[in-house]
Amino acid sequence: MTAHYTSAAREPLRLRAGPTVVMITPLTELTTRYAAQPKVLLDDPRLLPTILQKHALASPQYVVPVSELRAEALARHDARYHPRGIAYRVEPVPRALAHHRERPGSLIAEWSALAVLGLDEFSSGADTTILCTSDRKLATDALNATLRRRKKHHRTEIRQVGGIVVAATDHMQTLAACLRSLRNREHAWDTLADLEVEPATVMSVQLIDRFCHRFGYRLEEVRTGLAGLYCSRELRKLLTLSCPGAESRPETILRLLAEEAVSDLAWTNFASQVPVYTDGTVGLPGERRRDRTLLTAFDRAEPRLKIGLMHDGEHHLQRSQRDKDAEITADLMSLGWTVLRTSAGMLRRTAETKRRVREAVLSAAEKLK
């Protein structure tokens, strides 16, 4: 299906990727604009270097403002885990649209489609992927897309991105393609922890967790939706490890880490997103009671032993949040809870953090005797 676009002539296309507005502009338009100046010709070799002082190429034919690029250090960090070491400074949505517009009738797929659909946290360091009439070809640099042949079974979802209509694979085909990408070692990222589960499996579980949480799917719906699209045996393994309640990638890591720490203690019963109310009441995992005042929701908790695990992301470094966290921890301790807060650094020190979780569980169990 050919995509249709709605944009004013000679106006840059406005994309909204999350809260950030990004503009992409045809390189030919800027070239014509700069060449309109006195004593400048279209074939002047100084034109492109002049344009690239304020713009960066999102694709061979489209540019974005330099001010909208990702931090170079962040792009380099992602490139360390990219299978071919490619560093992407242009965000995934403008890259996807640029390549999509260069190939009329194409379909945005894999990690690019995931970003277009509304989940872009995995896609910043991923190749741009386009389904078109070309044979399979992996991206060799940041300017070129991974191309795959578009086939009849590819289902199209029409999306509006900042008022622009684009065509992408639907949710389940996108998820299946991303899982295959991880299995085939075509994409990877920093998982923080050194777990017993192999990294490709860890990343796949992170993806399923966030996919379910972001789009509101239940695991059974994922199982049904991926039937015929992904290996059923592998999918069963991934869904066993998954939990739609995870609100971030580190939360998935914390859950898997905690499960490994107490894997031989069959009498433990940890759950995700366990709410605790100010009166000490513990709610059902993933649910909120309107007749109670919520104190906090543990990322992972063992209610019988009163052990709660929480991961503190970057926003917890802010002074106001730190003060709030300290108050919450004090209130939880007064209610008899043992609270373990983790950071990215603690997840990297995997063995040490596992030991702390295990010791907390054994200590709490001893007190109950």
69 domain residue, yes or no: yes
The rounded distance, in Å, linking the Cα atoms of 340 and 357 is: 8
Q: 14 pLDDT exceeds 90?
A: no
Q: Are residues 154 and 59 in the same domain?
A: yes
233 and 265 belong to one structural domain: no
Check pLDDT > 80 for residue 221.
yes
Q: What average pLDDT score do residues 32-38 get?
A: 75
Domain identity same for 259 and 311 = yes
**DSSP states along 255-298:** HHHHHHHTTT-TT---EEEEEEETTS-B--TT---TTS-EEEEE
Q: Judge whether residue 46 has pLDDT over 90.
A: no
Domain that holds residue 231: 192-241
Same domain, 84 and 215: no
- Considering the domain boundaries, does residue 17 fall inside one? yes
The CATH number of the domain holding residue 300 is 3.40.960
pLDDT for 247 equals 87
Domain membership of residue 2 (yes or no) is no
Indicate whether 17 pLDDT > 60.
no
pLDDT score of 38: 62
3 lies in a domain?
Answer: no
The pLDDT of residue 196: 97
Residue at 5 is within a domain = no
The verdict on 170 and 60 lying in the same domain is yes
Of 141, 163, 182, the one marking the end of a domain is 182
**Residue 1 within any structural domain of the chain:** no
Long-range contacts for 291-300 (Cβ within 8 Å, ≥24 apart)? 295/328, 295/331, 295/332, 296/328, 296/332, 297/273, 298/273, 298/274, 299/246, 299/247, 299/251, 299/254, 299/255, 299/272, 299/273, 300/251, 300/254, 300/255, 300/258, 300/270, 300/271, 300/272, 300/274
Q: What is the pLDDT of residue 349?
A: 97
* Residue 336 vs residue 36, higher pLDDT: 336
Domain shared by 150 and 196, yes or no: no
φ, ψ at 135 (rounded to 5°): -75, 165
- 155 and 103 belong to one structural domain: yes
pLDDT in tens, 292-320: 999 999 999 999 999 999 998 765 566 66
Lowest mean pLDDT among 73-77, 86-90, 114-118, 159-163: 159-163
Of 127, 134, 128, 126, the residue nearest 105 (C-alpha): 134
Indicate the pLDDT class of residue 23, thresholds 50, 70 and 90: confident
Tell me if 59 is assigned to some domain.
yes
pLDDT in tens, 325-341: 889 999 999 999 999 99
Q: Does residue 223 share a domain with residue 308?
A: no
Please count the structural domains in the chain.
Answer: 3
Q: Do 233 and 268 belong to one domain?
A: no
Checking if the pLDDT of 195 tops 80, the result is yes
User: How distant, in Å, are the alpha carbons of 7, 53, 112, 161 from that of 21?
Assistant: 15, 20, 17, 10
Query: For 61-108, what is each residue's pLDDT tens digit?
Result: 999 999 999 999 999 999 999 999 999 999 999 999 999 999 999 999
Query: Do 22 and 171 share a domain, yes or no?
Result: yes
Beta strand 146-149 pairing with 156-161: unpaired
Q: Is the pLDDT of residue 121 over 50?
A: yes
18 and 75 both lie in a single domain: yes
18 and 130 assigned to the same domain: yes
* CA-closest candidate to residue 185, choices 86, 283, 82: 82
pLDDT per residue over 351-364, tens digit each?
A: 999 999 999 999 99
Whether 247 is in a domain gets the answer: no
Output the pTM of the full model. 0.89
Give the pLDDT score at 124. Answer: 96
